[in-house]
Chains A and B, each alone.
Chain A
Amino acid sequence: MIRLQDITKVYPMGKRELTVLGGVNLHIEKGELVAIMGPSGSGKTTLLNLIGCLDKPTSGSYYLEDREVSRLSRGELARVRGQKVGFVFQTFNLLPRLSALANVELGLRYSGGGDSRRALEALAWVGLSDRANHRPTELSGGEQQRVAIARALVKKPPLILADEPTGNLDSRSGEEIISILTSLHAEQGITLLVVTHDTNIARHCQRIIHLKDGQVEAEEKI
């Protein structure tokens, strides 16, 4: 599903250069549930952005479903994002002016379309059918994150990337989100990659990748 070969990412910082990723090799099979852990500044989010095609590596190759995507143009990368990848963010990133349903529909808008029936199904799947017409500000943090998960899964992507999905939630809402994510993986067979500090999430994963100073330090199978 995902194959990274010698991926580096270097940011120019004035005259100096900042190496965020220094030769990452990674292989993730279809249907895996993988956690990426590591201290702040270890390059977790940068790695997730590369895998999610939001960014391009400085060097190295990235194969997504056996297609080399690291040299694609910005427009082609956007297409890949629209069709293959669903994002779940720490800060939810819902559009405040739109209803929960409209936010979920937005997940379909750039992936070839679909109707509001599918969006309602996705909302039902995360247990928020009765909140379809609420604005994000009228929802709790846990509910907002569930809307965000519905938005990510509505287009049925093969890959969902979650960046600290429980980082802004209390532990009870966090548990809910974890159980939704694990059942998403179990029931829909979606490949799931979670960046987290939360050992609670990591416990549910099949594999944990420890990142330190832009390199894979260790991998553990559970």
Chain B
Amino acid sequence: MKKWFEPLSTAWVGVVTHKLRSFLTILGIVIGVGAVITLMSVGKGAQAQILSNIQSMGSNLITISPGAFTSGGVRTAAGATRTLTIEDAEAIAEQVPYISAVAPSYSSSLQLVVGGKNTNSQVTGVNLEYMQVHNLEIANGAFFSDYDYQSGAKVAVLGTNVKETLFVDADPIGQQMRMGSIIVRVIGVLESKGAGFGSPDDAILIPLTAMQQTVAQPRTAQGGRIVSSIALTVSDEKQSDYVVEQITSLLRTRHQLTPNAGDDFRIQSMEEIASTLTQATGTMTLLLGAIAAISLLVGGIGVMNIMLVSVLERTREIGIRKALGARERDIWIQFLIEAAFLTLAGGIIGVVVGWVVSYIISSMGLMTTLVTADIVILAVSVSVGIGLFFGFYPAWNASRLNPIEALRSE
């Protein structure tokens, strides 16, 4: 106990005696740790936001989009082909198990006219299950009914952004708008999900059946009605992989692909999208942390510099301690503890500074930040590690001093 206490109290006396010097020494560590905490919190915040967006879209979602396919050695760009059809969606719903809902959709850019406003917007034709598949709620009015769908009724449901752009504060329910060559009646407004990845706030939904009458929906050579994508939800998340497998083999059969041809569609589960996105933000977080870590390294070199000066200044003290019976190990441990003490103090102050800065960033609404325990623990232990690493050489220097010469020094 005493063995550890004495070096610590000596270190404390040293810090108090050289207040300004100690402050400047640990400033590098404070800035380094503060930067690591702040930048990592920004990265983690972005990651958390993306994950929560994805969760709000439903983690059991699987989307199928038309993919690149190779024809006669020529590979077409993904999405350029039109290979998915409503018939595909129906076949999936009928033949693949563990599926709770299937929503094929067809998107097209159409001209919208409301009163004097004239805009070009992406309109999506959907079926009744679209709401369930994408976890959407109606905020105002109603979604179209089965009868509307069957009869191809000219009705539309708007996302909140679209509603605000076209109708501002007016109640849009029952209002009419021109969409391409037809007139549709607004019957509902979607609940807002907030800005973010794949937000429904910009959506304009009409029955897929109405879409087919509005724009000449293209057909495949076999007469299938082409859709832009098929979204579906699985009833049991654990079966996602199995479902993807089943859909793949079903679609390959339906599209009459030869065994050595590539898929002409792409299946993505939400899990896959989530992992891709978190991987990207994780890399970004790591990069930010690495940049900040460089300033920690510079701070460590500053600590080493001061420790070398301190050893030089205290040569006589080292001589005295050796005359009193201190072994090399005792001196070595003492200076290591002093260095680690300095950087630990710097690390703790740095955590507080980083925390405050990231709080300010998020409260100013610049970015979402998230300070997690693992970052704090990592930053503090890294700063202690820096003290030990950069204190090693000065401490070793001190321990190797010849006691007679050390006692003679001024």
Contacts and interface: CB of A to CB of B under 8 A. Distances in A.
Given A55-B404, A93-B407, A113-B2, A81 B325 contact: yes
Interface in B278-334: 316-317, 319-330
A26 interface: no
A79 B330 CA distance: 11
Contacts of B320: 93, 95, 106
Contacts of B325: 78-79, 81-83, 85, 110-111
Contacts of B17: 97
A54 B324 CA distance: 10
Q: Interface majority SS on B: helix, strand, loop or mixed?
A: helix
Chain A interface size, as a band, is 20 to 34
B6 interface: yes
A89 interface: yes
B326 A78 contact: yes
Nearest to A112: B325
Contacts of B404: 49, 54-55
Nearest to B317: A95
Contacts, number: 61
Contacts of A82: 324-326
Contacts of B14: 97
Nearest to B314: A95
B79 interface: no
Contacts of B24: none
Contact of A109 (B316, B324, B407): B324
B273 interface: no
B71 to A, nearest CB: 81
A14 interface: no
Interface in A70-91: 74-75, 78-79, 81-83, 85, 87, 89
Contact of A74 (B316, B323, B328): B328
A40 to B, nearest CB: 15
Interface of A: 49, 52, 54-55, 74-75, 78-79, 81-83, 85, 87, 89, 93, 95, 97-98, 106-107, 109-111, 113, 151
Given A54-B322, A93-B316, A111-B325, 19 more contacts: A54-B323, A75-B328, A75-B329, A78-B322, A78-B328, A79-B325, A81-B323, A82-B326, A83-B325, A87-B323, A89-B407, A93-B407, A97-B17, A98-B13, A109-B324, A110-B321, A110-B325, A110-B330, A113-B2
10 contacts: A49-B404, A54-B407, A74-B328, A75-B329, A78-B326, A79-B325, A81-B323, A83-B325, A106-B324, A110-B326
